[in-house]
Amino acid sequence: MGAVTYPEPAIIEFLNREVVPLKINFDAEPQASDFWVRWTPALFMLDPYGNSHQRHLGFLGPKEFIPHLLLGKAKTFFGHRRFNDALSQLERLLTDYSLSFAAPEAVYLRAICRYRTTQDPHNLRVGYQILMAEYPNSDHAQRARPYRSLP
């Protein structure tokens, strides 16, 4: 990724503005053992306490890198019950990267965040409907199937 993804100006700007990037070699200890790194590149989204909220093994091209990080930020906020902050990241992802591999999971997580902030199960059903309309073959459409019969 060092030759293809990281040099992209949009990637550089995003990394400098949005996250604290840290590059560690695959054999760096104890980090490689702590995070079970067995293949590179291995990308993790960590919170300030060192908890991993998003993990990706393998190459990510420039078009998928930022959506991956936005999803990781959303999952980190979600993990800390900051649902409105998670929603903000998910909306950015779905607005700017609706065709990315991360989009179906973003729709799924957005529905859950909306439910968690309102306690209205209708949000889960709407999420399922969007997944079936826009990403019907995704794993997340199948995960959301139980929501189809909610009010």
pTM assigned to the model: 0.90
Q: Determine the pLDDT at residue 2.
A: 74
Instruction: Name every residue whose Cβ is closer than 8 Å to that of residue 65 and which is 6 or more positions away in sequence.
Output: 1, 5, 8, 11
Tell me the pLDDT tens digit for each residue of 49-77: 989 999 888 889 999 999 999 999 999 99
| Measured CA distances, 118 to 98, 112, 138 (Å) | 24, 10, 26
Tell me the pLDDT tens digit for each residue of 71-129: 999 999 999 999 999 999 999 999 999 999 999 999 999 999 999 999 999 999 999 99
The residue to which tokens 């997340």 are assigned: 140
Tokens of 28: 């760096």
| Measured CA distances, 133 to 3, 68, 137, 142, 151 (Å) | 37, 22, 10, 12, 18
CATH ID of 9-149, from 1.25.40.10, 2.60.120.10, 3.30.1360.120, 3.20.20.70: 1.25.40.10
Tell me the pLDDT tens digit for each residue of 22-37: 877 778 899 888 888 8
Check whether 1 has a pLDDT greater than 70.
no
